[in-house]
Structure 1
């Protein structure tokens, strides 16, 4: 059964808010009014991206019969906040801890890859919605807001997928790589391509290419 402890819910909410704040600062700098305006937009992308990423780990862990719980890493939150003032976010607010006496590399890899796959799916979903509302965004404020939210959601989720798949330290990529190099390289290539496109071409131009403009 999918269960949460009260401390886990608290940690998820704290991490969700602080990481949303970090991405807002990274996008607009130290402009307080800009941060306030950006925060609700970022919360949608980060909220779905971060929460569902962690729930992906938790769901697969519990599917294999393990108890799994998200725990906050305060030092990671502080570091993320510091890096945001330099225009990027080193997002390591915490992790889902799986409690098991023994776990194979395969199971550990499958648990680890669940989070990045969730982010890739969300990025593509955000991109699809952005394409659907693009034309009406020129004449409708509501459609424009949806497009901005989806563009931000695409950028953030593609970045979260690529970042977490890096094979360093305790990030997901290290465990996936230890399990299966082929799967890691394919998923990493997809996440990296989505992130690269976001950073170079831009979401609006990606949408225009999809629509054939």
Structure 2
């Protein structure tokens, strides 16, 4: 299996990663939004940089590895696959972050070639499963920070890493529209239920508990 990236694809991946980091920083850092209204009392460069770093390491990585997982599996099945950024939606995400709400759809892996329904289902499944695996990876430092009482940058990276990846897995397993859950359900109801039910429940738990 030979995974290659064109210059255009590398640019799209970088722009999507950076734009998502900026969008979530604007969404999470209320002081930036207040500064745009003329109140800069609570705004610090260190605070902005810290939130941006957390966003890039968690939200950006979670979104992009989700998409790259689709690509890897698609290529494994002989597809021509490449990530295409949706610049309009990335711009909308940044504007939404400024306005205090967020809906992020950075783009998608476009693949073509003949595949079976099972292969299509596995390509779709790869993204949410990758997010579940990333949640486990972030869970290790999260538990360590929780038990040791450590707060600060490590805590925020670990907490958001667990939260955002569980949310991404749960949201994408909803069997609706272009989401991965619909393609998985069309392939196998059993596989869909095994993955979707815990993913959605964990996503809801992450939303309201973390």
CA shift, 1:166, in A, is: 2.4
SS of equivalent to 1:134: helix
1:63 pairs with 2:76: yes
Instruction: Give the unaligned 5+ runs of structure 1.
Output: 203-213
Deviations 1:129-159 (A, max 9, x none): 2102323344xxxx64212111011111111
- Tell me which residue corresponds to 1:166: 174
Which shows bigger deviation, 104-113 or 169-178? 169-178
1:209 is aligned to none
Match of 2:4, SS state, is coil
TM-score by length of 1: 0.83
1:186 aligns with 2:198: no
Gaps of 5+ in 2: 36-42
Match of 1:116 in 2: 128
Detail structure 1 runs of 4+ shifted over 4 Å in the superposition.
Answer: 85-88
Counterpart for residue 177 of structure 1:
185
1:50 alignment partner in structure 2: 63
Answering whether residue 87 of structure 2 is matched by residue 74 of structure 1, we say yes
Contact 2:21 2:60 in 1 (8 A): yes
Deviation at 1:86, TM superposition (A): 5.3
> CA RMSD for the aligned pairs?
2.0
Alpha-carbon offset, residue 88 of structure 1: 4.3
C-alpha displacement of 1:85: 4.2
**Is residue 200 of structure 1 aligned with residue 208 of structure 2?**
yes
